[in-house]
Amino acid sequence: MHPLIRYVLQRAALALLVVWTGITITFVLSRLMPFNAADLFISRLVAQGGTLTGEQIEAMRRQLLELYGLEKSIIEQYLIFLRNYMVTGEMGPSFAYFPTSVKDVIAKALPWSLLLLIMTSVVSWLVGNGIGILAALTKHRRVSNVLETIAVAFQPIPFAVLAISFLVFYALILKLPIPAPGYVTTGSAIEMLIYMLRRAAFPLMVLVLFGWFGGFVSMKAIALKMREEDFIVYSFLQGAPTNSIRYMIFRNSILPQFTGLVLGLSRVFIGSLLVEYIFNYPGIGYILQGAIANADYNLMLGVLFFATVATAVATFILDLVYPLIDPRIRYPGQG
Amino acid sequence: MSLDILTVNNLDGGYEVFIGNRRVFVHAVDDVSLTLHDNEVLGVAGESGCGKSTLAKMVYGGIIPPLVVRSGSISLVTRGGEVLEMNKLDIDTIRRKIWWIEISYIPQNSMNVLNPLKRIKDQFIGVFKYHNIEMDKNEIIKYLKDTLTTLSLPPEVINAYPHQLSGGMRQRVVIALSLLFNPRIVLADEPTTAVDVVTQRVILSLLKEWRENNKSSFILISHDMSVHAYMDNRIAIMYAGNIVELGNTFDVFREPLHPYTKALIESLIRKGDKSIRKGLAGQPPDLINPPPGCRFHPRCPYAINICRAKEPPTTSLDKDRYVRCWLYANPR
Ligand SMILES: Nc1ncnc2c1ncn2[C@@H]1O[C@H](COP(=O)(O)OP(=O)(O)O)[C@@H](O)[C@H]1O
Ligand SMILES: [Mg+2]
């Protein structure tokens, strides 16, 4: 087999392994919970004051157990769970949006989330790295030091905390309006996209506001170190004009940052879920909130599954793309 | 009579560094005066830590902090016959008019100075661009292949990235880069450290041939006296920031005057000599607090009282021969 094909297959297998591990952990966690989906559903019905007799409840419980496959042995449940998630994509019905299937609920929200997530990662990355390199090359040390202080102070704070603090600040202190929820379901694809982008603009701004620190701090550090590298000094001594040297510093510093771009996707994930909810942005975060509020555990599992898949896919893409951009990393079997 | 194409007068400088919070000055080049003739190799010898590389950087004009120049002047006669006071020019003029065109530089760690992300040929093309020199790409490639072949490198090297080459190959690529525009002066700082003795000899003889064909001059820095014996027309011996002796290579090797020069030459292995070489005991001094008087006195077997108290004067013995040592400073 060609080594390149083997490499791709290996990486793909690794990604599958990650997904499988994720599913297994999810499964184990869900079965370790002291209650199951059927009991939960019924207890909610009862709590809502439904007038049901004991037999009716028992019948319903059995039906639900069957629906969720909970009456089978744990091994069988696991195998079915695996098959459903990894092969057929059937993740059962959602409670919160009963009887819509989890698959459909997620499928509807996913494009929204992906749009926001990808735009956030890319824009934050561009902004962070852009001002990072400028800060490293500028003569205005004061400005760049102030930026660095801010970035270093905020960077370790979890994204979720930042997002919530921002909301408190925005809604309770500044008392600014929060956009209304709702989907537009008609219109051409272009109109839809424009609508989505408009809806995404505000959460995007908020996410980028807190998303640039990481890129900035690491870019500035890398570029400052790069300035002193032997080959940069050598180019200077060869008579390279300042702009060529700047470009060289940029080109060599940006490479390691691509990892940040792809991994940023997963870092932003939870934060963006929160921000979606906060701004009524109809993505995964919004439905996850619904899922949590309604104890919709199928839907939660589905969302978790997507988070796992997203991380695995991102890593896989990174593995494949790196040798293209950095000549020091080669595919096996290549010159 | 040969023309002086580079004149260095009273050059003095070093590194301003912090040890903890204390600011100290590493006085690596102490009042050095030198001339470089047209069409010659001037060697600079001395143990490591004597300030040879610092002298090279200062002469080249590549002053990057913490290096500072405290005083001195450098004048250069270009191929066009123009006399330039290098210390009076701004860095941009030096960059455009002098570097690589009049003087090129082979830095000490030359095997590690190539851009890791660029193919060898693109690094050469880059240098043309830095100096706005138009040239046909195919012509460059052809020229490159020839140059690399003269340095006994396979022509395929041009398509390689630096990490695909050995240290010795990279070093030769950097040497080839420095010869690109046929500069009048090449400042070579330990140009053959990454190669074995056999390859070293091959490269040195190629450099020699190139220089003789181009009538360029070299300032060749090396701690290795056998390299100097093979290459130099004249040799300067550097110790702790001072030039302690300078003369024609033949004269210096035949009759070294300064005790330090004697020690350096004695440590060489001569043909047919089976006795164990005695090295010089001790190390060059700390340049933050150099010893008073002659900086060599703590290691000098001939040291007398005055050596510990006063810096020795420069004693000229000949037009092109001088020594800085109290033993030769007779007050006649
Ligand atoms: N960047 C630097 N910062 C501080 N001190 C330095 C630096 N480079 C060299 N030195 C010191 O300057 C002195 C001379 O060094 P160098 O010129 O490299 O000597 P050589 O080339 O003869 O080995 C040494 O004491 C060395 O430690
Ligand atoms: Mg050196």
Percent of chain A residues past pLDDT 70, beyond the cut: 87
Q: Which domain holds residue A191?
A: 102-297
**Whole-number Cα distances in Å, A215 to A132, A257, A262:** 7, 7, 12
**pLDDT on residue B332:** 44
Across the interface, which of A238, A251, A326 has its CB nearest the CB of B99?
A: A238
Tell me how far apart the alpha carbons of residues B34 and B29 are, in angstroms, rounded to a whole number: 12
ipTM of the complex: 0.93
CB contact under 8 A, A252 and B62: no
* Residue bearing the CA closest to ligand 1, atom 21: B53
A271 in a domain, yes or no?
Answer: yes
CATH number of the domain at A268, please: 1.10.3720
Quickly count: other Cβ atoms within 10 Å of residue B306's Cβ. Answer: 14
Looking at the CA of B239, which ligand is closest?
Answer: 1
Q: Which of A156-170, A246-260, B119-133, B267-281 has the lowest mean pLDDT?
A: B267-281
Q: B4-102+184-194+216-270+278-328 sits in which CATH class?
A: alpha beta
Non-local CB neighbours of A254 within 8 Å, separated by 6+ positions: A129, A133, A219
**pTM for this entry:** 0.80
Residues in B whose CB is inside 8 Å of some CB of A read: 60, 62, 64, 95-96, 99-101, 105, 107, 109, 112-117, 126-127, 129-131, 161, 163-164, 177
Total domain count, chain A = 1
Non-local CB neighbours of B206 within 8 Å, separated by 6+ positions: B150, B151, B152
Across the interface, which of B96, B105, B116 has its CB nearest the CB of A328?
A: B116
Alpha carbon of B27 to ligand 2 centroid (Å) = 15
Under a CB-based contact definition with an 8 Å cutoff, are residues A257 and A242 in contact?
A: no
A323 in a domain, yes or no?
Answer: no
Alpha carbon of A218 to ligand 1 centroid (Å) = 30
Across the interface, which of B64, B109, B130 has its CB nearest the CB of A239?
A: B130
Under a CB-based contact definition with an 8 Å cutoff, are residues B107 and B113 in contact?
A: yes
What pLDDT tens digit does each residue of chain B (332 aa) get? 578 999 999 999 999 999 888 999 999 999 999 999 999 999 999 999 999 999 999 999 999 989 999 999 999 999 889 999 998 999 999 999 999 999 999 999 999 999 999 999 999 999 999 999 888 888 888 888 888 887 888 989 999 999 999 988 999 999 999 999 999 999 999 998 878 888 889 889 989 999 999 999 999 999 999 999 999 999 999 999 999 999 999 999 999 999 999 999 988 766 666 665 566 778 889 999 999 999 999 999 999 999 999 999 999 988 789 999 999 987 54
Looking at the CA of B54, which ligand is closest?
Answer: 1
Tell me how far apart the alpha carbons of residues B197 and B209 are, in angstroms, rounded to a whole number: 18
A326 in a domain, yes or no?
Answer: no
Alpha carbon of A159 to ligand 1 centroid (Å) = 47
Domain boundaries, chain B: 4-102+184-194+216-270+278-328, 110-182
Q: Which residues pair with B187 in a beta bridge?
A: B105, B219
A216 in a domain, yes or no?
Answer: yes
The one-letter amino acid at A266? S
**pLDDT on residue A191:** 81
Sequential DSSP letters for B145-190: HHHHHHTT--GGGGGS-GGGS-HHHHHHHHHHHHTTT--SEEEEES
CB contact under 8 A, B117 and A240: no
A253 in a domain, yes or no?
Answer: yes
* A144/chain B closest Cα distance in angstroms: 21
Enumerate long-range contacts of A61-67, CB under 8 Å, 24 or more apart.
Answer: A64/A37, A64/A38, A65/A36, A65/A38, A67/A38, A67/A92, A67/A93
A142 in a domain, yes or no?
Answer: yes
* Residue bearing the CA closest to ligand 1, atom 2: B15
A239 in a domain, yes or no?
Answer: yes
Tell me how far apart the alpha carbons of residues B125 and B116 are, in angstroms, rounded to a whole number: 15
Task: Name every chain B residue with its beta carbon within 8 A of the beta carbon of A256.
Answer: none
Tell me how far apart the alpha carbons of residues A94 and A194 are, in angstroms, rounded to a whole number: 29
